Amino acid sequence: MTKDKSAANTKYKTILFKVSGEALMGKQEFGIDPDTTARIAADIAEAQKLGVRIALMVGGGNIFRGVSLATKGIDRVSADHMGMLATVMNAIAMKMALNASGVEAVVLSAIELTTFCETFTQRGLDEHMKAGRVVVFAGGSGHPFFTSDTPAALRACEMKADAIVKGTQVDGIYTADPKTDPSATRFDTITYSDFLSRGLKVMDTSAVALARDQEIDIVVFSLKEKGGLAKVLQGNATCTTVTV
Ligand code: UDP
């Protein structure tokens, strides 16, 4: 079966998969858990076999978040530079895990770190995607005062993705935080404008606004279940879709 034929059976054909740094910690309190990166890489390998083109944007919160140092009086711009470097470490870890799963992958960084990885260019992105590689975006937007959500949406636009698929610790978007409010209920779908007007915190508003303008669906699902990404692509996952 050709890749394209099987891709015709999936809900989305090109996705930007956003994985927060925290998700890479596994049960650890800090850093990168190799079992977890291997699990996520195996999920990506499975999804790729469905014929879906996948790029990954990783956060850095398992190592460093600029805002945490900024609250202690440290310069926010420098602190965010450190946060962006944390995302590069995670991206390299995910590239290694993908390679170990038999998936060809390349790290494209928004900040120049040419000894370690390639620098993002649109041309490079197009070439690697065309060659069937999983592109792992590092360094967020390359600019402070963002988290990795907004560059995830930006890269999704640049690669003409059908969806931003965000793996989290929770299986979708709820009316309130289900960890603290037992009466919270999960949305199956929610419109971009409803998401924004309710002030929901699952994704940065700038990322949601960008996705809305380009009509790119956002799917939020739980990373806890093995094979969850393939289920999202096959349309049978427990998740929430933010759409028009
Ligand atoms: N960051 C940044 N600009 C970006 C993306 C990330 O300055 O475009 C910095 C920021 O300090 C952020 C940190 O990198 O706190 C880690 O990213 P993020 O908070 O998105 O990690 P996640 O929550 O996804 O683990």
Domain ranges of the chain: 5-243
Q: Where are the beta strands (DSSP E) in the chain?
A: 14-19, 53-58, 105-109, 118-119, 134-138, 163-168, 189-191, 217-222, 239-243
**Does residue 237 sit in helix, strand or coil?**
coil
Q: What is the chain's percent helix, strand, coil content, to nearest 5?
A: 40, 20, 40
What is the tens place of the pLDDT at every residue in 129-175? 999 999 999 999 999 999 999 999 999 999 999 999 999 989 999 99
What is the tens place of the pLDDT at every residue in 219-241? 999 999 899 999 999 999 999 99
Please give the Cα distance from 238 to 225 (Å, whole number). Answer: 10
> Helices (H), strands (E): how many in the chain?
9, 9
Is there an atom of ligand 1 within 6 Å of 60 CB? yes
From the first residue on, what is the mean pLDDT of each consecutive set of 10 residues in the chain (244 residues)? 56 97 93 97 97 97 88 90 97 98 98 98 98 98 97 98 95 92 96 96 95 98 94 96 97
* Encoded amino acid at 151, one letter: P
pTM of the model: 0.95
Measured in Å, residue 126 CA sits from the centre of ligand 1 at 24
Measured in Å, residue 82 CA sits from the centre of ligand 1 at 9
Asked if CATH classification 3.40.50.880 holds for the domain at 5-243, the reply, yes or no, is no
pLDDT score at 68: 84
Could you tell which of 56, 65, 164 is best to mutate to test the pocket of ligand 1, judged by most ligand atoms within 8 Å of the CB? Answer: 65
